[in-house]
Protein backbone atom coordinates (compact mmCIF):
# COMPACT_ATOMS: atom_id res chain seq x y z
CA UNK A 1 0.00 0.00 0.00
CA UNK A 2 1.33 3.40 -1.00
CA UNK A 3 1.83 5.84 1.82
CA UNK A 4 -0.27 8.92 1.21
CA UNK A 5 1.14 12.15 2.53
CA UNK A 6 -0.72 15.23 3.74
CA UNK A 7 0.71 18.75 4.02
CA UNK A 8 2.27 18.17 7.43
CA UNK A 9 4.31 15.31 5.98
CA UNK A 10 6.08 17.48 3.42
CA UNK A 11 9.46 18.92 4.17
CA UNK A 12 10.50 22.32 2.91
CA UNK A 13 11.83 22.01 -0.64
CA UNK A 14 13.29 25.50 -1.02
CA UNK A 15 16.76 25.28 -2.60
CA UNK A 16 18.25 27.64 -0.01
CA UNK A 17 16.46 26.24 3.05
CA UNK A 18 18.57 26.22 6.23
CA UNK A 19 16.64 23.61 8.20
CA UNK A 20 14.19 21.48 6.23
CA UNK A 21 12.85 19.72 9.32
CA UNK A 22 11.94 22.89 11.19
CA UNK A 23 11.38 25.39 8.39
CA UNK A 24 8.17 27.34 8.94
CA UNK A 25 8.01 28.68 5.39
CA UNK A 26 7.78 25.09 4.23
CA UNK A 27 8.09 25.95 0.55
CA UNK A 28 6.79 22.98 -1.38
CA UNK A 29 7.19 22.58 -5.10
CA UNK A 30 3.96 22.37 -7.10
CA UNK A 31 5.19 19.23 -8.84
CA UNK A 32 5.59 17.47 -5.49
CA UNK A 33 2.02 18.31 -4.55
CA UNK A 34 0.75 17.20 -7.93
CA UNK A 35 2.64 13.91 -7.67
CA UNK A 36 1.08 13.31 -4.27
CA UNK A 37 -2.37 14.25 -5.62
CA UNK A 38 -1.94 11.62 -8.35
CA UNK A 39 -1.20 9.02 -5.65
CA UNK A 40 -4.37 10.00 -3.79
CA UNK A 41 -6.43 9.68 -6.97
CA UNK A 42 -4.95 6.25 -7.73
CA UNK A 43 -5.77 5.19 -4.19
CA UNK A 44 -9.36 6.35 -4.69
CA UNK A 45 -9.51 4.38 -7.95
CA UNK A 46 -8.39 1.25 -6.10
CA UNK A 47 -11.13 1.80 -3.51
CA UNK A 48 -13.69 2.42 -6.25
CA UNK A 49 -12.73 -0.85 -7.95
CA UNK A 50 -13.09 -2.70 -4.65
CA UNK A 51 -16.45 -1.10 -3.98
CA UNK A 52 -17.66 -1.86 -7.51
CA UNK A 53 -17.18 -5.59 -6.90
CA UNK A 54 -20.00 -5.72 -4.38
CA UNK A 55 -22.05 -2.87 -5.78
CA UNK A 56 -25.53 -3.72 -7.02
CA UNK A 57 -26.13 -2.07 -10.38
CA UNK A 58 -28.56 0.85 -10.17
CA UNK A 59 -28.39 1.01 -6.40
CA UNK A 60 -27.38 4.31 -4.80
CA UNK A 61 -24.10 3.86 -2.98
CA UNK A 62 -23.00 6.75 -0.77
CA UNK A 63 -19.45 5.45 -0.51
CA UNK A 64 -19.03 5.40 -4.29
CA UNK A 65 -20.63 8.85 -4.56
CA UNK A 66 -18.27 10.18 -1.90
CA UNK A 67 -15.19 8.69 -3.55
CA UNK A 68 -16.21 10.11 -6.93
CA UNK A 69 -16.80 13.59 -5.50
CA UNK A 70 -13.44 13.52 -3.72
CA UNK A 71 -11.68 12.32 -6.86
CA UNK A 72 -13.29 15.12 -8.84
CA UNK A 73 -12.21 17.75 -6.35
CA UNK A 74 -8.60 16.57 -6.16
CA UNK A 75 -8.38 16.35 -9.96
CA UNK A 76 -9.81 19.84 -10.37
CA UNK A 77 -7.89 21.60 -7.61
CA UNK A 78 -4.50 20.16 -8.54
CA UNK A 79 -5.13 20.47 -12.29
CA UNK A 80 -4.39 16.80 -12.84
CA UNK A 81 -4.58 15.75 -16.48
CA UNK A 82 -5.46 12.33 -17.91
CA UNK A 83 -1.85 12.08 -19.12
CA UNK A 84 -0.58 12.55 -15.57
CA UNK A 85 -2.91 9.82 -14.32
CA UNK A 86 -1.86 7.44 -17.09
CA UNK A 87 1.81 7.48 -16.00
ZN1 LIG B 1 12.67 26.10 4.12
Q: pLDDT tens track of the chain, all 87 residues?
A: 679 999 999 999 999 999 998 999 999 999 999 999 999 999 999 999 999 898 888 887 899 999 999 999 999 999 999 999 998
Contacts of 84 (CB under 8 A, 6+ apart): 34, 38
CA–centroid distance, residue 12 to ligand 1 (Å): 5
Which pLDDT value is given to residue 1?
A: 63
pTM for the full predicted model: 0.87
> Which DSSP string do the residues of 73-86 spell out, in sequence order?
HHHHHTT--HHHHH
Which pLDDT value is given to residue 11?
A: 94
CA–centroid distance, residue 4 to ligand 1 (Å): 22
CA–centroid distance, residue 10 to ligand 1 (Å): 11
Which pLDDT value is given to residue 87?
A: 81
Terminal Cα distance for the chain, rounded? 18
Amino acid sequence: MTELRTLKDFRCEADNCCDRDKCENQSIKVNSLKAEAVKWIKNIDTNLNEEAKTHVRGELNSKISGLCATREWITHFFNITDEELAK
